Structure 1
Amino acid sequence: MNYFKTILIAVVYISISISVIHAQVHNKSWESITEKEEGPWFASKEAIAIAENVLLYQRDIGGWPKNIQMQKPLSEKENQELLAAKKSTKGCTTDNRATYQEMIFLSKMYRQVSDERYKNAFLKGLDYILEAQYDSGGWPQFYPLKKGYYTYITYNDDSMYNILRVLEEIKNKTDYFSIQPSEETVERVKVAFEKGIDCILKTQYKQNGVLTSWCAQHDENTLLPAKARAYELPSLSGKESAKIVLLLMSIENPSEEIITAVNSAVAWFEKVKITGLREDRFYNEKGKIIDKKMIPDPDAKPIWARFMELDDNTPFFCDRDGIKKATLAEIGAERRNGYAWYTNEPKEVLKKYPKWKKKYGIKPVETKTLKKKLKNEFNIVVTKDGSGDYTSIQEAINNTKSFPYQRVTIFVKNGIYYEKIKIPEWNTNISLIGESKENTIITYNDYFGKMNLGRNSTFYTYTLLVEANDFYATNLTIQNTSGEVGQAVALSVFSDRVVVENCNILGNQDTLYTSGDGNRHYFKNCYIEGTTDFIFGKATVLFENCTIHSKKNSYITAASTPKGAKYGFVFKNCKLTANEDVTKVYLGRPWRIYAKTVFINCEMGNHIKSDGWHNWSKPEAEKTAFYAEYKCFGEGFKPKERVSWSHQLKNRKAKKYTIENILGSKTVDIDYKWYANFK
């Protein structure tokens, strides 16, 4: 009797336990279920039922969609829909812990229940991760690639960190996962992990030559900080950087590069931590956050801003309009309350750092930079790795002689230089020479709305600004990467006697600004691209043997030539190209009514509109502007269909368009052929 009573009590107890567990699991998030401690529950009927959902949601490619509560029961209709979607790759991602969580769950299941389907699904997920990796070592947010910011290397919400933790456990052959891949796959994992770490080291941001932290997203090609959603601007991240550093600290016998990266990041965390401030949250009766306020509190524990300026670490906050604000209180309630703007995650880094440092006998990185004594002040070398005279182009310019009698050559070795560069009026006679135009890249991402300096904000958006006379540049890519967000200048030239040769000048609207009364500029063998008015200004400019590429149906030039100037923009032997979907491009329109623009011996693609020129709704400009062509060719050259107020030059007049006439000096103290003196 006692025996049966014992059994009955046990059965009742188990039933009650299962019921309680079911209630607990049903009310929990999928993330919390995957984080449950391994044990008998993963052999329960409830767990097995959830596992069926996990298998069903996995696509044939191996990945899973995000934000799915896998524990929720499925209807027969939902089952059929998921089976039909198996071959689809839409939505497969590693964002928001997707794929990572499902693999964790399947591993815990397989340790309790030897169902080969769990193992196969886990390994398929691993193959998906390996397949999705870029050659640069990073991972996109979605794979197959989804257009937009989703292609960027994604540290946001610890996406890449989670991937690398999976790979680390597998390559180290720990027992963290119950499923062990083949030796061949383990070797692939080792390679992928090393590439991932290398990517992390290469994307650590240098601020004035000093390593700091990481952005939430980095461009998959340039590796530079990149913009995601409107309120997620390029910035240094106090949140995502923490897990990256913890990952680097987990690597046994770290290399010198890893040690330097960790030391530098820790120094940065210490530098930018916020003290004396706490975040208070206010909830409604349903437990939803309805407000957040930052309250001064001398006893508050350190916190870090999620977004900080790339050049000076200043915290900032954004609403969906993408405009930076100085405080959390300045943005609307929806974004203020629905996003994590502060974090305390770096505290774990600072807690573990002393033990890590002691383990490897590591000395903190020396953050002070010693001024180098130049070997030759007229031949300066800039390198990213510190082997030259400077690591920053701006730093090199700042330390050159003012108004030198001798030409100063600044040689810039291959690398991506995320800098907003200004060559002041007193730094004359500078030659900025890149190692190669493909791999020596000067880039920045300011734009009109971001500058927010009033109606003239365009002129502050430059990546490179030249105010000094007698400037020469070659073998460089100069770009503004802000995208199609309005006016955003890559290169601004406000000086006289400037030569730019064999360079890429990249942007969208207002890519190249060439200005100044009487200033003369010479662009030779360059590639210049943009969308609207991407070559504009009032300087006299000769473009020779250049490729002029339109990325959008719009206008190539917007000259503002001063009244009385003999020449404005002159294009000789150039090639006009466009994106495949571009079919309606004007050669130019007058920013000011005396605009002058001439195309000579240029090949024009079929994207050029037959009427050629536009008056910008300024009828008076049809009498004052001078727009002309001479012996051009290609599908876009249709002289008989051009607007009546444009010109086709006669031979006699075309002969006047020589380099000597266009650019030649009229003063006795300057060489007449100044444009040939810089090499």
Structure 2
Amino acid sequence: MIQLKKIVLFLVVSFSIGLNAQNTFKNWPDIIRKNESSWFGSEEAKKIAENVLLYQRNIGGWPKNIQMQHELTPAQKKDLTALKNTAVEATTDNGATCQEMLFMSKMYAQVKDERYKESFLKGINYLLEAQYANGGWPQFYPLKKGYYTHITYNDDSMVNILSVMRQISEESDFYSIKPSKEVVKKCKKAFEKGIDCILKTQYKQNGVLTAWCAQHDEVTLLPANARAFELASLSGYESAKIVLLLMSIEKPSRDIVTAVKSAEAWFEKTKITNLEEKRVLNGEGKIIDKKMIPATNAGPIWARFMDLETNEPFFCDRDGIKKKSIDQIGSERRNGYSWYSDAPKEVLKKYSAWAIKNGTKVSSADKKNVTLITVAQDGSGDFTKIQDAVYACPAFPYEKVTISIKNGIYNEKVRIPEWNTNVVLQGESKEKTIITFDDNFSKINLGRNSTFYTYTVLVEGDDFSASNLTIKNASGDNGQGIALSIVSNRAKVSNCNILGNQDTLYLSGKEAKQYFVNCYIEGTTDFVFGSATALFENCEIYSIKNSYVTAASTPEGIQFGFVFKNCKLTAEASVNAVYLGRPWRVYAKTVFLNCELGKHIKPEGWENWSKPEAEKKTFYAEYNCTGEGFQPSKRVSWSHQLKKAEAEKYTLDNILKDEFSNWYSK
């Protein structure tokens, strides 16, 4: 009896093992990902592996949409053998190649057949060879004419490849096959280039980073069309996996953090919560119709295709004509394509924890009203870096958000983006709270416009203010190097030191108005320049060498340009030949009222920058100034000495007032 029980038990266990060794999945991707590891040692798996080896082209890639578990006829095997040298249809689309490599890895873990290892390694070489120099991957390689050459995010193609590159470069245990150190190094470089490509292709909408398109031109990196019904657009689906990949990177760079934060803001902005998809099925469970029905507080979904400029969802038939709703296209495309997705939900779900971990959000930021963030280098505040505090600021807040900065030297570039309005940078003391960086034109080396990338602090958000700070470009007298760049409206800077050499302070914006009070500004050439309307009151303007103080580029028709009131112009002892200004653009306007001008100011005062027409179009003027440098009778003939009635229009209200009234007095 005991022996009989042992036999029965043995049969039961054997039967259970047999069941576990049987593949129960019908679809090829499911067979790879869902089977237990032990199944890959079964005879069934070995038989399928022969098919997978046969489908692989000698170049290393596989074709897509093949159910490789299906038994092949002798004729099919013969045809596949003939195709191996052709590289026909080798691709990474729809998971191809990446998933077959995973299959080979799982096979090799159970069965040490060297053919499996060789197949996997050929797959790696294929992916490495297929990568563009800019870091992207085409849909097909060797290149296939048409949209297939575009950098392809569609159906997660590039994300899948980068996941392979990452596992290999990190030498993780995800794959059972271990490539050589040389290959590992190549994969690491390929991953880094791929991430760089992702960052460069993130779409800017009116200057604001948003998300990605399903495909981007392989040369220009701009959004590109694919099939007739797949027009260039922002993608709710493909962008989600890209962001999740970026969020998975340990110690992300500043650019990665910006990319993720910008994409998350875009997902929040574009989510749809008033529609639900209703599917009509036939008796066999096949979709015969799709409808979008109104709903209240529905779970968020995102359109697969959104207009590049407006974010409005659109839909296309094979005629390529945009339609505003899914019911306006024919049943074939309506039912045979995924037009909506909830994939970005995973990004929104994980974002808060990611943001706190990576220093982009204060732990209390789940509160809707963040109005005070503290930066301290000793770790006693919310952050140790100013830029991280900026990342934590809510977009377009209703109230001022004060970033209180404790004393310290903060060696960093700080950018306050357009969506971070109402930001206040408040230092503990002007002398000891110092933001400094050392970029200059030659160091940046980004072409003819390199100057504008050299900033230490860049302000793009409206209604900005700063106080009790030193902002410095520490590159020295080595060409253009901006300390503070303000390209926004209604910016107020008080009790600050702004230090640099050439191009210290850049103020821009045709309609922008900016206010500096009780500040110290120093530089060499054109160290106050730009197109904004800016008022300087009770400021010291210090010249380090003989050159030009201002270089205004006031647009035509603007009433005021740069206005200096009750300011003091001083200089180093050796300086003795400084112009008040020269016109960067011919309609430049610069006026000094009630200012004390040191002896370093040249008697002629102004220079035309080799632009004779500027003598007729600029407006350079002074009123009631004092000091050895004030020599009105020796000024160039095309400048002006204002009369009292003319000077009276240069009031605080007249210069700075706009629809927001007296913003400058707050």
**Does the pair score TM above 0.5?**
yes
Matches within 5 A, 1:14-413: 14=14, 18=18, 22=22, 24-25=24-25, 28-363=26-361, 364=391, 367-368=395-396, 369=418, 400=510
Secondary structure, aligned partner of 1:35: helix
User: TM-score, normalising length from structure 2?
Assistant: 0.56
The answer to whether the 8 Å contact 2:21/2:42 transfers is no
The answer to whether the 8 Å contact 1:382/1:390 transfers is no
Q: CA deviation at 1:383?
A: 9.4
Matches within 5 A, 1:451-462: none
Q: CA deviation at 1:338?
A: 0.4
Distance in 1, Cα, partners of 2:2 & 2:75: 49
359-368 or 189-198, larger mean C-alpha shift: 359-368
Q: CA deviation at 1:299?
A: 3.5
Q: CA deviation at 1:352?
A: 1.0
The answer to whether the 8 Å contact 2:117/2:177 transfers is yes
The answer to whether the 8 Å contact 1:38/1:108 transfers is no
Q: CA deviation at 1:72?
A: 0.6
Secondary structure, aligned partner of 1:309: coil
Matches within 5 A, 1:598-609: none
1:632-672: CA deviations, max 9, x gaps?
Answer: xxxxxxxxxxxxxxxxxxxxxxxxxxxxxxxxxxxxxxxxx
Distance in 1, Cα, partners of 2:305 & 2:13: 51
Q: CA deviation at 1:37?
A: 4.8
User: In structure 2, what residue type is equivalent to 1:106?
Assistant: M
Distance in 2, Cα, partners of 1:384 & 1:79: 62
Distance in 2, Cα, partners of 1:225 & 1:277: 27
In structure 2, relative to structure 1, the CA distance for the partners of 1:23 and 1:173 (3 Å cut) is closer
1:385-439: CA deviations, max 9, x gaps?
Answer: 6969989xxx99x9658xxxxxxx99xxxxxxxxxxxxxxxx999xxxxxxxxxx
In structure 2, relative to structure 1, the CA distance for the partners of 1:78 and 1:8 (3 Å cut) is farther
The answer to whether the 8 Å contact 1:383/1:389 transfers is no
The answer to whether the 8 Å contact 1:260/1:365 transfers is no
User: In structure 2, what residue type is equivalent to 1:161?
Assistant: V
Distance in 2, Cα, partners of 1:195 & 1:246: 17
Secondary structure, aligned partner of 2:34: coil
Question: 1:624 corresponds to which residue?
Answer: none
Secondary structure, aligned partner of 2:279: strand
**What residue ranges of structure 1 are gaps of 5+ in the alignment?**
373-379, 402-408, 411-426, 430-679
Q: CA deviation at 1:186?
A: 0.4
1:344-398: CA deviations, max 9, x gaps?
Answer: 00011111111111212223465452799xxxxxxx979996969989xxx99x9
The answer to whether the 8 Å contact 1:282/1:291 transfers is yes
1:169-226: CA deviations, max 9, x gaps?
Answer: 1111110111111000000001100000000000000011110000000000000000
In structure 2, relative to structure 1, the CA distance for the partners of 1:298 and 1:389 (3 Å cut) is closer
Q: CA deviation at 1:312?
A: 1.4
1:130-186: CA deviations, max 9, x gaps?
Answer: 000000100000000000000000000000000000111111111011111100000
Q: Size of the alignment, in residue pairs?
A: 399
User: In structure 1, what residue type is equivalent to 2:24?
Assistant: Q
In structure 2, relative to structure 1, the CA distance for the partners of 1:102 and 1:189 (3 Å cut) is same
The answer to whether the 8 Å contact 1:215/1:234 transfers is yes
Distance in 2, Cα, partners of 1:258 & 1:159: 20
Q: CA deviation at 1:75?
A: 1.2
In structure 2, relative to structure 1, the CA distance for the partners of 1:53 and 1:6 (3 Å cut) is farther
In structure 2, relative to structure 1, the CA distance for the partners of 1:259 and 1:220 (3 Å cut) is same
Secondary structure, aligned partner of 1:311: coil
In structure 2, relative to structure 1, the CA distance for the partners of 1:399 and 1:34 (3 Å cut) is same
Matches within 5 A, 1:418-567: none
User: In structure 2, what residue type is equivalent to 1:175?
Assistant: D
User: TM-score, normalising length from structure 1?
Assistant: 0.55
The answer to whether the 8 Å contact 2:23/2:31 transfers is no
Q: CA deviation at 1:235?
A: 0.5
Q: CA RMSD in A?
A: 3.4
Distance in 1, Cα, partners of 2:454 & 2:97: 40
Secondary structure, aligned partner of 2:246: helix
Secondary structure, aligned partner of 1:279: strand
The answer to whether the 8 Å contact 1:231/1:321 transfers is yes
Distance in 2, Cα, partners of 1:6 & 1:240: 56
Q: CA deviation at 1:19?
A: 6.1
User: In structure 2, what residue type is equivalent to 1:324?
Assistant: K
Q: CA deviation at 1:78?
A: 1.3
1:265-294: CA deviations, max 9, x gaps?
Answer: 001101100002111111111111001111
The answer to whether the 8 Å contact 2:305/2:313 transfers is yes
User: In structure 2, what residue type is equivalent to 1:301?
Assistant: G
Distance in 2, Cα, partners of 1:227 & 1:131: 25
Q: CA deviation at 1:18?
A: 3.8
Distance in 1, Cα, partners of 2:29 & 2:257: 32
Distance in 1, Cα, partners of 2:14 & 2:291: 47
The answer to whether the 8 Å contact 1:171/1:187 transfers is yes
User: In structure 1, what residue type is equivalent to 2:189?
Assistant: V
The answer to whether the 8 Å contact 1:279/1:294 transfers is yes
Secondary structure, aligned partner of 1:163: helix
In structure 2, relative to structure 1, the CA distance for the partners of 1:322 and 1:24 (3 Å cut) is same
Question: 1:436 corresponds to which residue?
Answer: none
Distance in 1, Cα, partners of 2:210 & 2:453: 15
Question: 1:652 corresponds to which residue?
Answer: none
User: In structure 2, what residue type is equivalent to 1:69?
Assistant: Q
User: In structure 2, what residue type is equivalent to 1:24?
Assistant: T
The answer to whether the 8 Å contact 1:93/1:143 transfers is yes
